[in-house]
Every structure is written in C-alpha cells, then in structure tokens.
C-alpha cells in the first residue's frame, strides 16, 4: 500500500531530525507538535507516534530496496 503524501513527508522529516539533529523520539515529537504537525491520523504527536512512523518507514524502505528471491522447486505436468 502506498504511503499518503503526509505520511511520507512525516517519515522524511523524522529521519531528518533524527539524523541531522540527533534528537530523541520525544524531542522530535515536541518539535513537530510545536510546529503544528499532526500524526498520520491527525492526532497530536507523541513519542510513540514518532517511533512507530520511523520504524514502519525504515521497514518499508528495506522492503522496497530489497530484491525478492525465488526458487523453483519442482514442476509437475498433470493431464
């Protein structure tokens, strides 16, 4: 399922604050809340929301960058 533009933006912003400013999830939530940013479900941001968005975004990145591995085990012809 594709990310909404807000969810994608939120993930990128969280990564930027985490990597560039080396902020904790709690401090990221505070900063974004002060800027008026809401969660993907339009709730006030808390550290748990930030962590969840970060974790799911990283998993999504890994899934999209990874390559699927397929192995043909057996082929049967049935009349």
What distance in Å separates the CA atoms of residue 74 and residue 6, rounded to the nearest whole number?
A: 45
**DSSP for 23-72, written as a single string:** --HHHHHHHHHHTT-B-TTSPBP-HHHHHHHHHHHHHHHHHHHS------
Percent of the chain at pLDDT exceeding 90: 53
Instruction: Provide the whole-model pTM.
Output: 0.74
| Span 61-78, pLDDT tens digits | 888 888 777 788 888 888
pLDDT of residue 1: 58
Q: Name, in order, each residue with C-beta under 8 angstroms of 6's C-beta and a sequence gap of 6 or more.
A: 40
């Amino acid at each position: 399922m594709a990310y909404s533009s807000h969810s994608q933006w939120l993930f990128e912003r969280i990564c930027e604050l985490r990597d560039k400013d080396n902020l904790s999830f709690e401090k990221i939530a505070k900063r974004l809340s002060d800027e008026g940013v809401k969660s993907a479900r339009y709730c006030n941001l808390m550290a748990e929301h930030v962590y969840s968005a970060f974790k799911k975004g990283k998993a999504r990145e890994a899934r999209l960058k990874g390559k699927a591995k397929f192995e043909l085990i057996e082929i049967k012809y049935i009349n």
